[in-house]
Structure 1
Amino acid sequence: MGLLSNEIIEKIDCEENIPVKKEKTPYSERELHPLLSYFAYTNAKFNNGKAILTKTIFHEKSKKNGLNEWVHPDIVGVYIPIEDWNPEIIEFSKISNANAIELIYFEMKKEINRSNYREYFFQAVSNSSWANEDYLVAAKISDDDELMNKLERLSSSFGIGVIRLDLEDIDSSDVIFHSSRKKELDWETMNKLCEINSDFSKFIQDVKIDFDSKRIHKFEYDEILKEHENYIKKIKRESCRPMPEEQI
């Protein structure tokens, strides 16, 4: 977990990083999480009509052993087909080898440009082995043909999707590149994540309880914004307040 082969590292390292002037943003990465939760739950082009719930994983709660720099997902998404499947099929899926539940890994960033895309992609690949789908998400992605070509090449090579959150109109957010879907979950990596992080362990427990009880307890997951426009205005105008270091 978190270890990449030399071949993968070389593929990412061969991409050229170009210095780009950093623009200060009033919001933190973590303040973008509610917007991603809204997008994942409501955007039919992304979820294909499935109700995907998300859960923020606080890396501050992880055990520190010097080996876990890039093993924590920022946000995990889950689709539990309780409201879409016949109860008999739900029961049957429990005794079959099929994964009825779908898990999605999201790596959140404020901005992706030519000076940081390689590092961010490296981080996403490091964290992404366990889920069915994996996405790198940003509120701003430079409108740069060369950058898009590089992201497309990396997305195709590693199966990592790319999502752009539109802070002017969150409903216009889009999936620039779709993730390559994996049929099987990486149980060993998920087990290690449970040992390292209590939030991830609680998330797995909550998903199991919901699936077994055939009832989704939405309060256990990240809240879905009801007034997303007001929320966006709020995080944009609070530019003068100090931000915790881990959220910058």
Structure 2
Amino acid sequence: MRKKRGSYTFLDLAKSVLELENRPLTTAQIWNIGNRNGLTDKVGSLGKTPINTLQARLYIDIRDNEKTIFQQVSKRPSKFMLKNDHIDEQLLEEEISDLQEESSYNERDLHILLSSFVYANPDFHCVTKTIHHEKTSKIQKGYNQWLHPDLVGIHFPFEEYSECTMDLQKMLNNEQYEIYSFEMKKKVTLTNLREYFFQAVSNSSWANEGYLVALEYDEDESFMSELKRLNNAFGIGIIQLNAQNISQSAVLFSAKRKDFLDWDTIDRLVENSDFKEFIKEIKDDAVAKRIRGKYDLFYKDDVDAAKYARTKNIIKK
């Protein structure tokens, strides 16, 4: 019997893609491959989070349908295949091993790479400080959710201008200090994009410029289109780190610069001892007109940065 228009379901999509690929896939991979092949257009109603919907439909079908054609073959990440497909155990083990190796470092291991990039890059030329959210004094549940950035940065103009020029800027109330806020992630995909992006909106919009930073981004056309749309709408910039050559890291989308800081948010952030120290160091260094504060370390050489990245398994050995 011929299917009515709009009766092509999420499970039909999963079946079509898994038949096409004949290998274990995550729901994000199923969706992206289906999108490239024009199959997602056949699904009647997509909703706001189609990948999450696809995953839920697969879980429910496997759990409740005795005649399900799907099977889950791995967890973390969850991967699915058709039941009658032969599983290449060696390929699956290699994929899981790669993912475990990818997860063997944490986000804070990437901080020094970002610090190295933004110090050397003339568009920033700033020093950074890591903010440990666990050091905030108030720990009431939900009070500080999505409040703290992972790193903050300061650009000091006295590294570029003479003391005479700085004095004139001060007199004219035109000192060129810039404060940056960064949210760090290891990998941003279509599945987690909105969560990660709006986390950055929440904890980095207070600064002159706020950025979402990651080592990896999906290269899918629909992903990049959505990333550009979010950047245009909310002004959060996007940085992609290059661990092999840190100086070749890229600002994929620039942040929209704000002339004024959000002082209410800053007043909340100073409840954190790291951020409070950061503010004090800015004040002391601005008076002294030289950098003396305890900011994050950074590499001045790509080779040293890459060597560090290998020791942390950020770059596969």
Question: Fold match, TM over 0.5?
Answer: yes
Letter in 2 for 1:31: D
Q: State, as a whole percentage, how many aligned pairs show the same letter.
A: 43
Q: Deviations over 1:32-72 (max 9, x none)?
A: 0000000101134x43xxx2111101111012122101100
Mapped to 1, the partners of 2:277 and 2:291 lie a distance apart of 15
1:223 aligns with 2:297: yes
Q: Deviations over 1:174-226 (max 9, x none)?
A: 011000000111122112211x20100000000110000111115x1001124
User: Aligned in 2, Cα 1:52/1:17: closer, same or farther, shift over 3 Å?
Assistant: farther
1:30 aligns with 2:63: no
User: Aligned in 2, Cα 1:146/1:69: closer, same or farther, shift over 3 Å?
Assistant: same
Letter in 1 for 2:298: I
Which segment drifts farther, 130-139 or 78-87? 78-87
Larger RCO of the pair (alpha carbons < 8 Å, separation 6+) = 1
Mapped to 1, the partners of 2:235 and 2:315 lie a distance apart of 36
Q: How does 1:132-211 map to 2 (within 5 A)?
A: 132-194=208-270, 196-211=271-286
Name 2:182's counterpart in structure 1: 106
User: Aligned in 2, Cα 1:17/1:213: closer, same or farther, shift over 3 Å?
Assistant: farther
User: TM-score, normalized by length of structure 2?
Assistant: 0.65
Name 2:136's counterpart in structure 1: 62
Letter in 1 for 2:133: H
User: Aligned in 2, Cα 1:96/1:185: closer, same or farther, shift over 3 Å?
Assistant: farther
Give SS of 1:188's match: helix
Name 2:17's counterpart in structure 1: none
Letter in 2 for 1:58: H
Residue from 119, 133, 152 that aligns with 2:195:
119
Name 1:131's counterpart in structure 2: 207
Contact in 2 for aligned 1:160/1:179 (Cα 8 Å):
yes
Mapped to 2, the partners of 1:87 and 1:17 lie a distance apart of 57
Letter in 2 for 1:59: H
Q: Deviations over 1:134-156 (max 9, x none)?
A: 00000111111111100100000
Note the C-alpha offset of 1:167.
Answer: 2.2
Aligned alpha-carbon RMSD (Å) = 2.2
Residue from 160, 163, 173 that aligns with 1:87:
163
Name 1:40's counterpart in structure 2: 118
User: Aligned in 2, Cα 1:200/1:105: closer, same or farther, shift over 3 Å?
Assistant: same
Contact in 2 for aligned 1:17/1:114 (Cα 8 Å):
no
Mapped to 1, the partners of 2:193 and 2:126 lie a distance apart of 26
Structure 2, unmatched stretches of 5+, are 1-46, 56-75, 78-98
Contact in 1 for aligned 2:205/2:236 (Cα 8 Å):
no
Length, aligned pairs only: 220
Name 1:212's counterpart in structure 2: 287
Note the C-alpha offset of 1:128.
Answer: 2.2
Contact in 2 for aligned 1:139/1:167 (Cα 8 Å):
yes
Structure 1, unmatched stretches of 5+, are 1-13, 240-248
Give SS of 2:183's match: strand
Give SS of 2:251's match: strand
User: Aligned in 2, Cα 1:212/1:224: closer, same or farther, shift over 3 Å?
Assistant: same
Give SS of 1:71's match: coil
User: Aligned in 2, Cα 1:238/1:145: closer, same or farther, shift over 3 Å?
Assistant: closer
Q: Deviations over 1:111-138 (max 9, x none)?
A: 0001100100111111123200000000
Mapped to 2, the partners of 1:15 and 1:154 lie a distance apart of 15
Note the C-alpha offset of 1:236.
Answer: 0.8
Contact in 2 for aligned 1:107/1:136 (Cα 8 Å):
yes
Give SS of 1:202's match: helix
Give SS of 1:232's match: helix
Give SS of 2:261's match: coil
Mapped to 2, the partners of 1:237 and 1:121 lie a distance apart of 22
User: Aligned in 2, Cα 1:198/1:17: closer, same or farther, shift over 3 Å?
Assistant: farther
1:235 aligns with 2:309: no
